[in-house]
Chains A and B, each alone.
Chain A
Amino acid sequence: MTRQRPSRLRELRRAAPFVLPFLLLFVVVYLVPTGYSVVQSFFAVKRSGLGLGGAETVFAGLGNYLRVFQDGDFIASLGRVGFIGVIQVPVMLGIALFLALLLDSSVPKGRKFFRIAYFVPYGLPGVIAALVWSFLYAPTLSPIAGFFASIGVDASFVTDGALPFSIANILTWAWTGYNTILIFAALQAIPEETMEAAALDGCSGWKAALLIKVPLVRPALLLTLVFSIIGTSQLYNEPVTMKSVAPNLPSTYTPIMAAVRSLSANDFNYAAAQSVVLGALICVLSVLVFRASARSVTR
């Protein structure tokens, strides 16, 4: 330790030009709105009688949160995205992992083509994808339903029971490629020597993929898992777009749709409380996933 360590202050001063722009944006577009929502969620508007005298904003304590937990529609919407997530996320990540392993396998034929082909759906704006799928689902327009009808099978993709699966299908179609690329990138980072050593020990092919590659890309898998959980809980585009072909899809189908409905009803404070609850749930869920996986790694 011959060199003197720069003082903390000087270190900060040097870092400032690099950190400040980010910090400023982070505060302005992330922390301030979040804080504002949290503050709003503790207030409520007070009216009297017909409400024509205008509204007065008063402190409501936990009133909005009590309302959230008694709101059957909102609880149901949480259940719905939970159900869709539990089914869709493992299926999608399973396919993504499989495709990534295929891409990474020693047969490089057409690798470039497939890499791009898998990624194309992600490049399509979510609303457009949902719109195209809506046409494929619409009972009266769908060529698929038309085909089934021609062989005498009454297939509908928009019944109450089929809706979660129809939506999960759009999500899987749109996001599998994205996750494939993330996992593939991690696979590419595995040192060649590791795989060579495994081959020398007689471990190759699918066995090597499952026993060596998969554990090594666990951080990437974890990342895609957390991204997917967040993505599913914020489900909005797909169900809203599908509503035009599936009027039986309620306007509070997902938590965000429920919050938007409160917003449209000029019930800002309640919408804020709904958003805070959703955000907190996602936060807790993400932390739990990270914790659980960290534990299984150290074990």
Chain B
Amino acid sequence: MLNRNARLTAAAVVATGLALTGCSSTTGASTGGPVTITFWGWASGYDKSVALWNESHPGIQVKYEAIANGGAGGYDKMFTAAKAGTAPCLAQIGYETFASFLAAGLLQDVSEHTKARRAEFPDWVWGNVGIDGKIFGVPVDTAPMGLFYRSDLFKNAKIEVPKTWEEFGKAAAAVKAADPKSRIMNLPTDPYLYAGFAWQGDAPWFGVNGDAWTVSVNSAANGKVAGYWQGLFDQDLVTSYPAFDAALYTAWNSGKVWAEVGPVWSASLIRDNAASSAGKWAVAPMPRWDGADTVGNSGGSATAVMKGCAHPKEAAEFALWMSTDDKSVSNLIESAAILPASKSGLASKALDAPESYYGGQAIYQLFRAESAKVNPNWRWGPVMSTTASALGDGLGKVAAKSATFQEALNAAQTGTVSALQAQGFSVSK
């Protein structure tokens, strides 16, 4: 008897285990019960938006699982899970990596389920989550760039806030003249941050020519943007701290570095890492090139629908809701300091709040206006992790003075083209 009971218990345990492990995106196909959708992401606030949805949508339950930041292993996990057949239904994917997932054949075409709501997002944003007019996910946020600067130091030294890159160069010299130990900015050596400058400078890295990719990382237009930074570096007008390094944060705090041209999320980066200079920072529009009223973008991500998802329609519905619903968007702005991609999200009142760190300036109003001026001619390539690491390696050498920007671009060009060819993509010259 006892033996039999023990066996039953064991069987029950095994069954529970199976039920738990079987809780993947493929279950609940037509059982009539609530549909369950798994969602992998890492941005703060996503869990709360999911909870809001689950409360109000009993028929479609989203199971959120926080994973490591994409660049810090999250994407590797998704690639591996997809290979093993255990990928989630929805995944947070940055625009820069979106094409890599597309090329790996891991995303599902949800054009049909998003078509009706295309007008709710700006066109250039849709370009980041699809190709050939097909849509594979829903944009969540964008990251237009702006000029963060120490208003106290600029004012004291009587230096005008630069509006163009030409003025920026003059201001850089003026900063050094005002205080020989200070510089205007740190050299942008992080490949994705640098991409924002190329993006603004109408210097695309990738394009599509019929059925082949074009790679133009070292094009003449890119040479112009790179040459500008090389010039500032050669004249010793910028610092060369490693990107995201504590030394740079110290320099922001102590006034050794006066400004940072960076994406909207630099707002929290500066606020959290240069706390003692609170109230002294302000934000102005990104300096422009030769009268072209365009800005760059560096970051932003989407909720992608992965292949194998049994409920693409419901998944797309949730993703659209997360990016457009007022409660969800307000929550994301509050917890992750994102700039929403959707038009309704951009209208959110949460963006009008004054920021005390920035001297009470309502900085997100500025980014809201700038997001309409993002250069639309940018496309990410399908092997961005290779492109970015090749470029990052090269830019790291620039800071150490053992290479130039142009050499870094050349290395990224060669590395990208050979990676594309090795993986079977067509590359047109």
Contact = CB atoms under 8 A, between A and B. Distances in A.
B76 to A, nearest CB: 6
A51 B382 contact: yes
Interface stretch (A26-34, A146-154, A244-252): A244-252
Interface string A244-278: 11111111100000000101111110100000000
A160 B389 contact: no
A244 B250 CA distance: 16
B245 A47 contact: no
A279 B244 CA distance: 35
Contacts of A244: 242, 244-245
Interface stretch (A52-60, A193-201, A282-290): A52-60
B423 A159 contact: no
Contact of B386 (A47, A160, A245, A261): A261
Interface stretch (B113-121, B262-270, B396-404): B396-404
Contact of B393 (A138, A140, A250): A250
B208 interface: yes
B383 interface: yes
A265 to B, nearest CB: 5
B400 A247 contact: yes
A251 B191 CA distance: 13
Interface string B236-247: 000001111111
Contacts of A54: 104-105
B422 A270 contact: yes
Contacts of B246: 138, 141
B131 A55 contact: no
Given A140-B247, A250-B393, A267 B423 contact: yes
B250 to A, nearest CB: 8
A265 B400 CA distance: 26
B42 interface: no
Nearest to B419: A265
Given A140-B247, A247-B396, A265-B419, A52 B102 contact: yes
A33 to B, nearest CB: 13
A165 to B, nearest CB: 16
B27 interface: no
A265 B424 contact: no
A139 B242 CA distance: 10
A247 B423 contact: no
Contacts of A267: 419, 422-423
B383 A55 contact: no
27 contacts: A44-B424, A49-B211, A49-B212, A50-B212, A50-B382, A50-B426, A51-B103, A51-B425, A52-B131, A138-B247, A139-B247, A140-B250, A158-B400, A159-B400, A160-B402, A245-B245, A247-B392, A247-B396, A247-B399, A248-B400, A250-B393, A252-B393, A261-B389, A264-B75, A265-B100, A265-B383, A265-B386
Interface of A: 44-55, 67, 138-141, 158-160, 244-252, 261, 263-268, 270
Given A55-B104, A140-B241, A263-B79, 16 more contacts: A45-B424, A50-B208, A50-B211, A51-B382, A52-B103, A139-B247, A140-B245, A140-B250, A251-B392, A252-B389, A263-B76, A264-B76, A266-B423, A267-B422, A267-B423, A270-B422
A-B pairs, top 3 by smallest CB distance, nearest first, are A54-B105, A247-B396, A140-B247
